[in-house]
Structure 1
Amino acid sequence: MAEIPEIHVMIVDDHEIVRRGIAEIVDRADGLKVVAEAGSVGEALSRAELAAPHVVLVDLQLPDGTGIDLIRQLRLVIPSARSVVLTSFDDDEALAEALEVGAAAYLLKTVAGVEIANVIKAVAMGRTLLDERTVTRTTSKHADPTATLTPTEKKILGLIGDGLSNREIGDALGVAEKTVKNHITALLSKMGLQRRTQVAAWVASQRAVAWRQPAPR
């Protein structure tokens, strides 16, 4: 994805003081501009259509719904916009749900301001990221949970991380959807996971780690 000259950002948080503080951080960063703010799902949807942001920062708890609801609806209203969850909830279930509906990043509000700006820029360029604390928690559970996966299972793992459905994975690999489901059942067992969304979260965390590592000299 080509770099955007100026990245337009919308901030959705029902606490005005918090929202204004985030807006100040974003506006101070080079190449970023806050084009809209909202305090609810309804406000966000109406303002997003007019503002056409590239990236939307979304709190999980809103007075008329959840950030998950908003992200799902934003994908219909402005499909080109990418969503970043910015929340105080350090919760695996919320992380999995956010990734499942298409969030490109999951950040905790304890993150440094400069990191918020960096993640916005990376997400606008097409990357999927998690904050360092979440990555550490997610990856520390297993040294290498993919060690016993077959080559086909590893391919399916990557395709799940790309957001493909079982049917799309089957088409990509030239196998039946039922065969894909069988492979996913096997890889879940081998990785010690219970749900497909946990697989997506794990892949996203690994890609975030790879993004953070400095390029070899």
Structure 2
Amino acid sequence: MPSSWKRSLELAYINHYIITKVNEKQPVNWLLLDLGLENVAEEYINQALDNLLIGFNRLFKYKSVKQATLGYFRMLDIFKQDERYHPNIHVLLPTLKSYFQGRYYIKHDKWLELWSKALGVNSNLYVKVKVVQSKDDNPLILKRMEQGLSALFDASETKRPTEDKKIIETRRLIGYSRLLKSEVDRLLPDVSFYLDIDNLCTDDTIANAAFDRMLAWHPGLRSEETNPFI
């Protein structure tokens, strides 16, 4: 298993745990937000990644975004297809409980407008927003959670080619802020605790649904379209 996909799986379980802890303490809504660029040529990818991360930080300083959200987990995912790159920031986003009922709600078109403003770019933008909701296939998700743990413990670890590192080695691939950062700071240093199904609250169907979506997220450069181990 490439070490980056292993890290992706580990983070899905850790974030599942974090979501359940937040849900125990306060009522929130959860969004999954994708912010990216499409069809970036290889000669421009490093500049594009710099702009992407700067734009992301700028976006979350805007008043409308900061008021509606309580923090975030973000992951930089760079999909390479042929000679083109498609960098994307996946965001796990807790929002105010009243997010959908009042003036804080941000529609998709507004997210796109704000993302364009933050980047200073008007073309080749990618924005996707999804509300995390309980899913009818919860038993299937629980099965995937068990399969993921088996994959983590059974698969041997491999590394990405050296040339891949040139694009990502100087960049932080993941980050937490505000509410989620405070929960991360309380985590135990031994990650194996969060890789034990008995230590996860699998009755939290919102956390389960978010976990299922996060299985497709990948930190860093990849050429696989989907997680090859789930």
| TM-score, normalised via structure 1 length | 0.26
- Which structure carries more helix by proportion? 1
- Which structure carries more strand by proportion? 2
